[in-house]
Amino acid sequence: EAGVAQSPRYKIIEKRQSVAFWCNPISGHATLYWYQQILGQGPKLLIQFQNNGVVDDSQLPKDRFSAERLKGVDSTLKIQPAKLEDSAVYLCASSSIAGTKYEQYFGPGTRLTVT
Amino acid sequence: KQEVTQIPAALSVPEGENLVLNCSFTDSAIYNLQWFRQDPGKGLTSLLLIQSSQREQTSGRLNASLDKSSGRSTLYIAASQPGDSATYLCAVRLYGNKLVFGAGTILRVKS
């Protein structure tokens, strides 16, 4: 079974530029999550999708961050305009409604550096 | 608001030593607790998941315990190896399958 795929793996941009990240979850997983992990901290949930609907985006800075999940499969996370404090690793995870424990499976992450 | 704290923030031990990583959480209303491993440039790998009704889980040289009432969990690593060097993250699972993570413990096992 293929894991969660993310691209790009690394991105360097200047502040005030825009950037987009892509995530492809495990096939059949209805729930998709985006996390932000700042250096030295644990991952923080930004947004949670159930199929193509948003379940929780309470910690998403909506003035600059946006996310969508196309047809309930792939997802993109966009930042526009970027700030220095957005430098972090952006992790995507997915989980299945069916099965036990609703375990989340994580992708390798995208490391963003804003200069 | 649920908060998760991990102690110590960093740990360096010689190969072969047994060690304990600590995790505490402020609200006992959790579904389960999960320990992850994170290697540089890679995603999170699940190590152990303990349901709220369980006291401990074991996998190979790893043993995790949970005391829900006191808001504490420990991860015990026996006979540590250099390959165990990584960041270890503790996370509690809340309603809606939301994970709240601690900041992690950076472990270095010296050969």
- pLDDT-based confidence at A99, cuts 50/70/90? very low
Can you tell me the distance from the alpha carbon of A94 to that of A33, in angstroms, rounded to the nearest whole number? 6
Taking residues A64-77, report their average pLDDT: 93
pLDDT of residue A78: 98
Residues whose CB is less than 8 angstroms from the CB of residue A68 and which lie 6 or more positions away in sequence, other chains included: A52, A75, A76
Structure-model confidence comparison of residues A97 and B110, the more confident one: B110
The 10s digit of each residue's pLDDT in A29-68 is: 999 999 999 999 999 999 999 888 999 999 999 999 999 9
Burial class from Cβ neighbours inside 10 Å (0-12, 13-18, 19+) for residue A52 reads middle
- pLDDT surpassing 60 at residue A100: no
Task: Say if residue B51's pLDDT is above 60.
Answer: yes
Q: Cβ B43–A108 below 8 Å, yes or no?
A: yes
pLDDT at A70 over 90: no
**pLDDT tens digits for range B94-105:** 887 889 999 999
Instruction: Catalogue the long-range contacts made by A69-75 (C-beta closer than 8 Å, 24 or more residues apart).
Output: A69/A32, A72/A30, A73/A24, A73/A25, A74/A22, A74/A23, A74/A24, A74/A25, A75/A22, A75/A23, A75/A25, A75/A32, A75/A34, A75/A49
Please report, rounded to a whole number, the percentage of residues in chain A having pLDDT higher than 90.
83
Please report residues of B whose CB lies closer than 8 A to that of A106: 43-45
**Would you state the pLDDT for residue A96?**
84
- Tell me if chain A has a CB within 8 Å of the CB of B106: no
Place of tokens 């250099």: B82
Size of chain A in residues? 115
Check A106 against B98: CB less than 8 A apart. Answer: no
Look at chain B and count its residues.
111
